Structure 1
Amino acid sequence: MSKLFEPTTIGSISVANHIAMAPLTRNRSPGAIPNDLNVEYYRQRATAGLIVSEGTAITHQAQGYADVPGLYKPEAIEGWKRVTDAVHAAGGKIVTQLWHVGRISHTSLQPDGGKPVAPSAIAAKSKTYVLNEDGTGAFVETSEPRALDLAEIPALIEDYRKAARSAIEAGFDGVEIHAANGYLLEQFMRSNSNHRDDQYGGPIENRIRLTLEVVAAVTAEIGADKTGIRISPTTPANDVSDPDPKALYTALVEGLAEYSLAFIHVIEGATGGPRDVLPFDWAALKAAYREAGGKAVWMVNNGYDRQSAIDAVESGYADVVAFGRPFISNPDLVRRLKEDASWNELDGATLYGGGAEGYTTYPTLG
């Protein structure tokens, strides 16, 4: 049997295989509170070695899409506890993705209808998902953000720390810090969205500062062995760009090497799109991390199939392979990979919002 299907450890988390379920926004948690449908959805997919939950807002201000879950209400923590209990009862392991969307939001989703926050007051050429008055969902242009004041940043870091503690209280095995896909932490890192002239803007060491400070706060609170981070060095998602992603992300992973993280989750290429959107040496990024002393599990993601996943793990190119959309339509994806069985086709019309259809209704083998 391939190493892909053998047990391993991710930080202090013992897992059944080298396959992860990537975070997937599904917009099925009204009021930011996980419900019965969410419990069943995650339970069905518990054969993944590690589930990374959908992005979970660390505060109300961090919300960017309608009906996505949070970690800032007691009812949400209780709802997540039911999810984690179900996953654990089915033999799985699950971490939550700590999410602050920054400028990828809309005033209708913000506290008191305020502006979303960002490193700089630069609107993203992007869209977000809101609810119409009749309850149907729609994609709309993101709202113009305001720049975070320097005095607000310590409280923002504290929000991440509190959310990490809440995740452990909710029964999660750990957390993944979302520093990818054009959301707040990546907005600070990328030069087109960060025009600050203080210690969080300008040169690379300043632009990666907030991400490293969040990592320091979270690892101090729950342990580095329960903490991962997701990065996307070349994605153009949500209107982020940088002229030198190699220098930026090499500096970032060298900084991350100071922490004994559980995993680094790398999106290779455009999120959910082409892997070659920009030239980038993915093996060199991992090598730079290892040379700096980093020992975290190296998790890769984007466009992997059965054979490329097997090859990545067998060769040592990666330690774990994450699959995203294939897990939506194939709750038993691990079995299908193991048996080289066909995959269910994804129904794109049911991706965002709605009920059980296209969420918990995909068939398993047999």
Structure 2
Amino acid sequence: MEKYQLYATMGAGFESVVAKELQSLGYDTRTENGRVFFKGSQRDIVKTNLWLRTADRVKILLKEFKAMDFETLYNNVYEIDWAELLPVDAKFPVQGRSVRSKLHSEPGIQSIVKKAIVNKMSDQYHRRGFLPESGNVYPLDVHLYKDTARISLDTSGESLFKRGYRIEHGGAPLKENFAAGLLKLTPYDGSHPLIDPMTGSGTLAIEAALIGKNIAPGSWRQFAFDNFDWFDPTLHKNALIEAKAQIKPLQQPIWASDIDQSILEIAKLNANNAGVLQDIYFKQIAIKDFTTEMTNGIIITNPPYGKRLKDKQSAEALFTQMGEALLKYDSFSQYYLVGDPDFEKFFGKSATKKRKLFNGNLRVDFYQYWSNRNDFK
């Protein structure tokens, strides 16, 4: 099968996590900011879209070249064999981005790329400069960085965080791939108990169950490649059958609690849609009243902060309650995603390690407190 130059995109700070995921799926990788490159066939395009938990999209790199002016950009795009990729009625939206490049007008870049493709396809299909664009979508993008242009075809369509199990959103839910990324920054693999004591709409607990049960995160959705006319439709069907056969029982319990019963009902609906409702113990309980008999596991949560708790004082009071309720469980490794730089002061302990991340546009820290056991960090 033909091999493509592929790359996965991801949120800032998750490059190494996605690279590890790709390596564990059997690929050699090369990493740069926001992208991890690998090679693969149509089968690999299906596999990575289906299985990558922490990436945003999987794209085919069609061409890379230096472009300091619009003529060079136009000529290089025109040279691509577009009729091989796009049927005559293809709908092909072009997204453009430019960073630190001479060609800096993004609308201008998009329009030149679009014009070059239309003219080439008109020549190839013997049409006079008119293409109906009434068929399936082939999402294209052009990215310029320091005058190097990359033209890519997006095989995912909607971002991979849109798993398809989450129908209702709680107050400020974590994106699914962001939640999976946080879990991948812990030692969690399903072989230890996991607790989320402020679960909100349940995303962390559900993503943990998917990891623990080895359920492919893309199991519920379609991808852009499903509508490419040159793509083998049997590959996706077969990959889903194979993925189903690899699901295993959860080894250790997952506990998810919250003070708000109405948001827990949403979390249960989401868990049910993801097929993991039976694997998660949901309970309504305030953090100050939290207790557990479990040991040697992971506590991970995204406590309300920023817009979710407008009042800074109530956030700080909550962090103090968290410290009083949770720090005594020192056989657990503990992980907290918080947007308040004073978190440690109110929680009552300095983190073993801190990692700077961006949840959307919000700068946050991932505070890591390792357990008193050397084997679990």
Which TM-score band (shorter chain)?
under 0.3
TM-score of the two chains, using structure 1 as the length reference:
0.28
TM-score of the two chains, using structure 2 as the length reference:
0.27
More strand as a share of residues: 2
User: Which structure has the greater CA radius of gyration?
Assistant: 2
